[in-house]
Amino acid sequence: AQSVTQLGSHVSVSEGALVLLRCNYSSSVPPYLFWYVQYPNQGLQLLLKYTTGATLVKGINGFEAEFKKSETSFHLTKPSAHMSDAAEYFCAVSANTGGFKTIFGAGTRLFVKA
Amino acid sequence: DGGITQSPKYLFRKEGQNVTLSCEQNLNHDAMYWYRQDPGQGLRLIYYSQIVNDFQKGDIAEGYSVSREKKESFPLTVTSAQKNPTAFYLCASSTPGTSRNEQFFGPGTRLTVL
C-alpha cells in the first residue's frame, strides 16, 4: 500500500526567499511521484513528476524536486518565491500494484509575503 | 485543445434533491476519477472507472452514483442519501500504464446545499 505525508499544512515565505515543501511517501513497490498545484477554485495542474531515471526533476515555473529513496522523500523546492506561487500544493504517489492507484497528500498551502 | 470539462461550475441543491455533475474528456484516456475536496482534507476518491461500462467505489462512495457508458463521459450523481454534499468536486482522467497514472484534472464544480 502507498501513503503520502506532507509536512506542514501551511508554509509562509517572503517574496524572493527559498520555497521548500516537504513530502514523504511510503510504497512497497517502486513509486512514481508527482507534485500538483491548485489555484483557488481551479483544478489541479501537474508541476513535475518522477517515474524513472534522473532523481532530480525539473518542472514548470522554476520548481524542482529530488527523489531520495533512502529518505523516502520527494521535497519540492524553488530558489526564489514569487507572489504568483501562492497556491495549494499536493504531493502524490502512484505504483503499479496490479493496476495503478494514486494517493494524494493532504496538501500544503503556500503563502508568499511581499 | 484536448482537456477535461466539468459543468456546471457552480451548483446549488435543495435538501432531498439529486443532482448530476458532468465530466467530459477528449484526451482519449481510459481511466476517469471523481474526487471530493473539503478545506484542509485534500482529495478523497469517490469513484473511478478504468474502462467503459465498469467502475469501482473509492474511499467515500456512499451517497454517490456514477455511470460510464462512453469513454469520454463519466457523470457523477449526488443523491439525497449524501448527508453533507457541500464541497468542491474534481474530475480527472489518466492513461495509467504509459503515464504511470499522471492525472489530468477538470476545473471543478462547487456544490452548495441550500
Q: Which residues in chain A have Cβ-Cβ distances shorter than 8 Å to B42?
A: 90, 104-107
CA distance A7 to chain B (A): 13
Contact status of B108 with chain A (Cβ, < 8 Å):
yes
Say what the alpha-carbon torsion angle B54, B57, B58, B64 is, to the nearest 10 degrees.
110
Q: State residue B1's pLDDT score.
A: 66
Please name which of A25, A26, A27, A22 lies closest in space to residue A11, comparing C-alpha atoms.
A22
| Strands A10-14 vs A108-113: parallel, antiparallel or unpaired | parallel
* Closest residue of chain B to A42, computed from CA coordinates: B107
Q: Which residues in chain A have Cβ-Cβ distances shorter than 8 Å to B88?
A: 41
Q: Choose from B38, B103, B111 for mutation: most chain A CBs within 10 A.
A: B103
Contact status of A63 with chain B (Cβ, < 8 Å):
no
Q: What is the pLDDT of residues A75-105, one digit of tens each?
A: 999 999 999 999 999 999 998 776 778 899 9
CA distance A100 to chain B (A): 6
3-state secondary structure of B62: coil
Residue with cell 457541500: B86
Q: State residue B104's pLDDT score.
A: 95
Contact A63, A82 (CB under 8 A): no
Q: What is the pLDDT of residues B26-49, one digit of tens each?
A: 999 999 999 999 987 889 999 999
Q: State residue A100's pLDDT score.
A: 75
Q: H or E element: which one contains A26? A: strand A19-26
Mean pLDDT for each consecutive 10-residue tract of chain A (114 residues)? 91 98 92 95 94 92 96 97 97 83 92 97
Residue B51: which pLDDT band, with cuts at 50, 70 and 90?
very high
CA distance B16 to chain A (A): 26
Distance CA A44, CA A40 (A): 10
Q: What is the pLDDT of residues B65-111, one digit of tens each?
A: 999 999 999 999 999 888 899 999 999 999 877 777 899 999 999 99
Q: Taking CA A82 as the corner, what is the angle to CA A76 and CA A88, rounded to the nearest 5 degrees?
A: 50
Instruction: Provide the grid cell at B41.
Output: 482534507
